[in-house]
Amino acid sequence: MNNDKRTAVPSSRKRRWHYSQGNALTFVSLCILAVIMLYPFLPMVSASLRSMQQYETGIGYSLKSWIFVLHNLPLPRELMNSTIVALGAIFLIIALSSMAGYAFGKLPFRTSHIFFVAIVASMMIPVLSMIIPEYVNISRIGLINQYPGAILVYAALGSPFATFLMTTYFRGIPDELLEAAVIDGLSYVKIFFRIMLPLGLPAIVTIIILQFITVWNDLLVGLLFLQNPAVRTVTVGIATLESVHVLNVPVLMAASLLSALPPIVVFLVFRRYLIAGLTMGMGK
């Protein structure tokens, strides 16, 4: 028996050593990945803190580029336009995907799997192949250079993935919970609003994060559907900065950093919901 104890102690120590070694390797890999991902921000910040003359000579720092961006460019209006479009698209995406996910996940009908596969398959279609028909349709109803036109396009592009995510999430919720609610006399509509939506909050927040980042950073849809400077988004404004002014790298870097702040803030605030919303229900 003493021999068993002696052999058990080294084996447990060996497992702990392998476990700590694996954690150390994971930590080092993540640090290397973080450095690779964050390194481009260093020259951007350095360039934004210089004037054009200082940037060309590589000597000195100042806030002239930031002052120029805040006082001479319509960046606040463009940031507001991006916020309106992003929030409107996210509202439609969540409304459509949550109801569709509830139907596919908990209220299946005879051909529901066919519709679900078709929705998932639509995620494989390249955006470039859909953008021209969407432009024609939006122009026919007179919504070019208007917020609703871009919001509808973003909602159409983001709803398939959001529906897939909500469906897999709702499938992870026990069916016994719905059966108990039905026995208590709740209708399926009340079950959706009182039970499913509160339980689906992690998935909803995940959709908010991913879609906000996607819509905010998109250039193609904004460039085609919001060409008017009055409704132009911030990414379109930065892309057209060179055509309006002589290319000024420090000003461009300052505007880019300012436009990147909202997605970063959204991700940092809601990041703890992201993994739970992406993984829960995937095994169902």
DSSP assignments along the chain, one per residue: -HHHHHHHHHHHHHHHHHHHHHHHHHHHHHHHHHHHHHTTHHHHHHHHTS-HHHHHHT----SHHHHHHHHHS-HHHHHHHHHHHHHHHHHHHHHHHHHHHHHHHHS--TTHHHHHHHHHHHTTS-HHHHHHHHHHHHHHTT-TTSHHHHHHHHHHHHHHHHHHHHHHHHHTS-HHHHHHHHHTT--HHHHIIIIIHHHTHHHHHHHHHHHHHHHHH--HHHHHH--STTT--HHHHHHTHHHHS---HHHHHHHHHHHHHHHHHHHHHHHHHHHHHHHTTTT-
Structural domain ending residue among the three candidates 17, 32, 57:
57
CATH code for the domain of 89: 1.10.3720.10
Joined tokens for residue 251: 């000003």
- Pair 192, 244 in one domain: yes
pLDDT number for residue 154: 95
- Pair 50, 147 in one domain: no
- Pair 118, 18 in one domain: no
Whether 19 maps to a domain, the answer reads yes
pLDDT tens for each residue of the chain, 284 residues long: 455 545 444 555 655 655 566 678 888 888 898 888 888 888 888 888 888 888 888 888 888 888 888 887 788 899 999 999 999 999 999 999 999 999 998 888 888 889 898 988 888 888 888 888 899 999 999 999 999 999 999 999 999 999 999 998 898 888 888 889 888 888 889 999 999 999 888 889 889 988 999 999 998 898 899 988 889 999 888 887 765 555 788 888 888 888 888 888 888 887 777 766 666 544 44
Whether 179 maps to a domain, the answer reads yes
pLDDT number for residue 90: 95
Joined tokens for residue 203: 């998935």
- Pair 165, 25 in one domain: no
pLDDT number for residue 53: 86
Whether 67 maps to a domain, the answer reads no
pLDDT number for residue 13: 60
pLDDT number for residue 283: 47
- Pair 102, 228 in one domain: yes
How many C-beta atoms surround the C-beta of residue 266 within 10 A? 17
Backbone angles phi, psi at 109, to 5 degrees: -120, -175
C-alpha separations of 20 from 8, 30, 130 in Å: 18, 15, 49
- Pair 52, 77 in one domain: no
Whether 50 maps to a domain, the answer reads yes
- List the domain range (segments joined by +) for residue 272: 73-279
- Pair 186, 252 in one domain: yes
Whether 63 maps to a domain, the answer reads no
Residue 131's Cβ-side half-sphere holds a number of Cα atoms within 13 Å equal to 11
- Pair 41, 161 in one domain: no
- Pair 99, 196 in one domain: yes
Whether 269 maps to a domain, the answer reads yes
Whether 141 maps to a domain, the answer reads yes
Dihedral sign from CA coordinates of 52, 58, 60, 65: positive
- Pair 18, 155 in one domain: no
Q: What is the pTM of this model?
A: 0.81
- Pair 163, 211 in one domain: yes
Whether 130 maps to a domain, the answer reads yes
- What's the CA gap between 103 and 98, in Å, rounded? 9
The residues, ordered by sequence, that sit 6+ positions from 73 with a Cβ below 8 Å of its Cβ are 237, 241, 251, 255
If one counts the domains in the chain, the total is 2
- Pair 225, 180 in one domain: yes
Q: CA-based Rg of the chain, rounded to a whole angstrom?
A: 25
- What's the CA gap between 164 and 209, in Å, rounded? 16
